[in-house]
Structure 1
Amino acid sequence: MPLLRGKKPAVTARSKMPKLSENQEEGPQVKRSSSPPHGAPKKRTAFIDITNAHKVQISLPGRKKEAAKKQVKKTSAPSVSTKNHDNLTKSSSESSEGSPAERETSDAEEEEAAAPVEELVAAAPPAVCQVPARHQKQQMPAEFDVDAENAGDCYMCPEYAKDIFDYLKQREETFVLCNYMPVQPSLNPEMRAILIDWLVEVQENFELYHETLYLAVKMTDHYLAKTPVHRELLQLLGSTTMLIASKFEECSPPCVDDFLYICDDAYKREEIISMEANILQTLSFDINIPIPYRFLRRYAKCVSAGMDTLTLARFFCEMSLMEVALVSVRGSLLASACLLLALVTRDLGGWSPILEYHSGYQVLDVAPVVRNLREMLSAPPDDKLKAIRNKYSHKVFFEVASLPLVSGDMLEEVLSQ
């Protein structure tokens, strides 16, 4: 039975009582006097006692040079403490002897003497801090600024939204994969496709985010690229990566018992926890892997694509998860290809300059992936792998799975432009 969260062991009254020494006896407590005992130090403030504050020297970084200069310029003049003492004695005697009118006159003279210094300080130009050229942000052309409409929305991060996706695109270089099936003696592409088809059902049953599904698949591929896994542990691997991705993406992730239940109790709690630790250690705890789903939503915003067009591109992108040949394709490039194929299918044009600006890809870069996607989608569907097609055949997803695929001639005409 899992431990209940938020509950602490009850504390008995005996544990709260202070321990008495051998010479102490229980009895009525006597109020202690506020005066300290003989010979004890007096109470002090939090930092220093104000009575001996003049003895404490506080060194500030900005005043080290000034202190050094003062030490160099030593003359036969009396010390600062002597001057201050004389000035204090003189001012006290003058204030006691002089009239209020005389004191006002002397104050006015002091203000006039200090006025030129204040004027010079006010007239001095402020120091201008010049930002180095490598840190200066490049100005975005107005026709490519897709975040201008969200200028007042802090949740959309309009000031640095493009910087975020540029960083994710650079981070993709750290997570480049290749076809790892040759190093998996007991696995094949069909087994991997069955696993991902099952993960799609898990994502639907638990109503998880699509980001959770994509991240789980990415972690599965990266783990399989480094560690051989027996076929009997493949489902354990998939459910554990979905558990880790849920903790990373979801506000209320499912617990371990939920994943044990969907596995039909084929594994034990200790096994899934051990697999979780093994996956994180193998991936060096670096699981913030850029996924194509985030790039897809960003690029669809650049062309103001409708929800039906975005859903069609999402269907293409989700179908690509089961194709092992597309594992090595970077997420940003895969998202670009899925969006371009959706735009051509909807007869909404091809690759535009704004997409080229924000994605960094040209048509020649996207064209090979688009052809691979169309070849994958044109293949006869497998009766064992129906989760994604059934999911996108629903009215909620505009029934995009039932749309006819664009012809090869029309696609080549767009790609050749």
Structure 2
Amino acid sequence: MLPVSKTKSLQPETFEKEPSKIEKDGDLHIKRSPSSPQGGPKKRSAFEDLTNAKQNQAQVQVSKRKGGKSVSKKTQKSSVRQEALKNDENLKSAGPKAPREHLDSAKEKKPKTPEAPEEKADVDKLVEVQPPPYDDVDKENLRDPFLNAIYAKDIFDYMKDREEKFVLKGYMEKQPDLNIEMRAILVDWMVEVQENFELNHETLYLAVKLVDHYLAKAVCMRETLQLLGSTAILIAAKFDERCPPCVDDFLYICDDAYQREELLSMEVNILRTLQFDINVPVAYRFLRRYAKCARANLETLTLARYICELTLQEYEFIWESASKLAASCLLLALKMKDLGGWTPTLQYYTGYQVTDLHSLMRRLNLLLYSKPDERLKAVRYKYAHKVFFEVAKIPPLDVLKLEEQLKLNTV
């Protein structure tokens, strides 16, 4: 057994005033300095620009300069009357015109061009907007900038595309000094480290991925396997945690079996081997996203997390894609809780149909049926606690019942 020691949890740790106003005789006057571009305050009528008052004043000034006399008000009125009489005579000479009532009736009697039936159908289509077949789960969180709901779909589509870059194949035959049981014991120890340091679950999943990808490209000896696991957790914690543990903490949990220089050298070796590309898509991120799309409660999500975390110790699940594994774990948890099956919303956000998950669901259900190894108790003991709703005690689905549902495509 790999030694585990509990450690203490780390504790992270003038408006300018408005321009002054003077109230005088019930009116408000804003202060304006005489040196401003507009000069001092001037009185003017509200419609001064729309009238011809300025033009009349200009004509009077021009007449005064030329020596002429100003025209009196009586002469102005007489000239207006003469112009009105001339206009009446012009209207009479133009001949009779149709009364306005006849014109209005003629406008009403104009035949209207009938609308084409195709245009009416297009209008009806625009009016009757059909709702999408899936539920828009991000719409209700658009106002929260911390959730990035407007980019959530694009982010997970990008992560799903990146899975093709991190496809794992069997590598244990290339390791002369390791076997499948040693890997399972290492992952079981990493689960305990994640609990002792109270790290995020994403950190645990990423650390296991880093171990697998490193072992797929480099040879590791038995005596340095624990050093590889602790260093992978250190790198994952730096990537995902807000306050990651320090190097001395990882040396302590290894029971001082390694020196500080050895751990730092292993960190550089892992990063160079993986070419510093450690943003590996993990199943836990997809699982939380899909559970939100299904509007599953916390207990159902915890059950799906338990099933998914059991696969970390199993070597035969390393080549499964993270998104497909998360979708299968959620669907199996929904069936175990009798909460329905695959919905159009889940099919839209996951990109998987229910038939794509049949074989993986069978394997996951058999994993729950299998007798646990006495050396691998960390995950089952963890999820048997009341904090995790004791989901490890929920019995798996009956194999015959699951097969009947798979044949009828009712899952």
- Please give the TM-score of this superposition, normalised by the length of structure 1: 0.66
1:412 Cα offset (Å): 2.1
Please tell me whether residue 192 in structure 1 is matched to residue 183 in structure 2.
yes
Structure 2 partner of 1:132: none
Q: 1:364 to 1:177 in 2, by over 3 A?
A: same
Q: Which protein has greater RCO, CA pairs closer than 8 Å, 6+ apart?
A: 2
Structure 2 partner of 1:412: 403
The separation in 2 between residues aligned to 1:236 and 1:141, in whole angstroms, is 51
Structure 2 partner of 1:201: 192
Q: Output the amino acid matched with 1:169.
A: K
1:300 Cα offset (Å): 0.5
Structure 1 partner of 2:390: 399
- State which of 110, 126, 147 in structure 2 corresponds to 1:156: 147
The separation in 2 between residues aligned to 1:140 and 1:311, in whole angstroms, is 32
- Counterpart secondary structure, 1:265: coil
Structure 1 partner of 2:204: 213
Structure 1 partner of 2:268: 277
Structure 1 partner of 2:26: none
Structure 1 partner of 2:320: 329
1:140 Cα offset (Å): 9.7
The separation in 1 between residues aligned to 2:339 and 2:234, in whole angstroms, is 39
- Counterpart secondary structure, 1:384: coil
Structure 1 partner of 2:337: 346
Deviations 1:287-316 (A, max 9, x none): 000000000001001110010000000000
- State which of 229, 232, 247 in structure 1 corresponds to 2:220: 229
Structure 1 partner of 2:170: 179
Contact 1:199 1:239 (C-alpha < 8 Å) held by counterparts:
yes
Contact 2:137 2:293 (C-alpha < 8 Å) held by counterparts:
yes
Contact 1:350 1:414 (C-alpha < 8 Å) held by counterparts:
no
Structure 2 partner of 1:131: none
Please tell me whether residue 362 in structure 1 is matched to residue 353 in structure 2.
yes
Contact 2:168 2:318 (C-alpha < 8 Å) held by counterparts:
yes
Q: 1:156 to 1:379 in 2, by over 3 A?
A: same
Contact 1:295 1:332 (C-alpha < 8 Å) held by counterparts:
yes
The separation in 2 between residues aligned to 1:154 and 1:142, in whole angstroms, is 27
Structure 2 partner of 1:387: 378
Deviations 1:179-232 (A, max 9, x none): 111111111111000000000000000000000000000000000000111111
Runs of 4+ in structure 1 over 4 Å off: none
User: Which one has the largest radius of gyration?
Assistant: 2
| Percentage of identical aligned residues | 62
Unaligned runs of 5+ in 2: 1-57, 59-129
The separation in 1 between residues aligned to 2:240 and 2:164, in whole angstroms, is 22
Matches within 5 A, 1:232-311: 232-311=223-302
Contact 1:144 1:357 (C-alpha < 8 Å) held by counterparts:
no
The separation in 1 between residues aligned to 2:132 and 2:156, in whole angstroms, is 17
Contact 1:236 1:267 (C-alpha < 8 Å) held by counterparts:
yes
Q: Output the amino acid matched with 2:298.
A: M
1:159 Cα offset (Å): 1.1
Root mean square deviation, CA, Å: 1.4
- Please give the TM-score of this superposition, normalised by the length of structure 2: 0.67
The separation in 2 between residues aligned to 1:355 and 1:179, in whole angstroms, is 31
1:370 Cα offset (Å): 1.0
The separation in 2 between residues aligned to 1:410 and 1:340, in whole angstroms, is 15
Please tell me whether residue 312 in structure 1 is matched to residue 303 in structure 2.
yes
- Counterpart secondary structure, 1:412: helix
Structure 2 partner of 1:78: none
The separation in 1 between residues aligned to 2:270 and 2:239, in whole angstroms, is 14
Deviations 1:28-79 (A, max 9, x none): xxxxxxxxxxxxxxxxxxxxxxxxxxxxxxxxxxxxxxxxxxxxxxxxxxxx
Unaligned runs of 5+ in 1: 1-100, 102-138
Query: How many residues are treated as equivalent by the alignment?
Result: 280
- Counterpart secondary structure, 2:375: coil
Please tell me whether residue 377 in structure 1 is matched to residue 379 in structure 2.
no
1:142 Cα offset (Å): 6.7
1:143 Cα offset (Å): 3.3
Contact 1:300 1:310 (C-alpha < 8 Å) held by counterparts:
yes
Structure 2 partner of 1:75: none
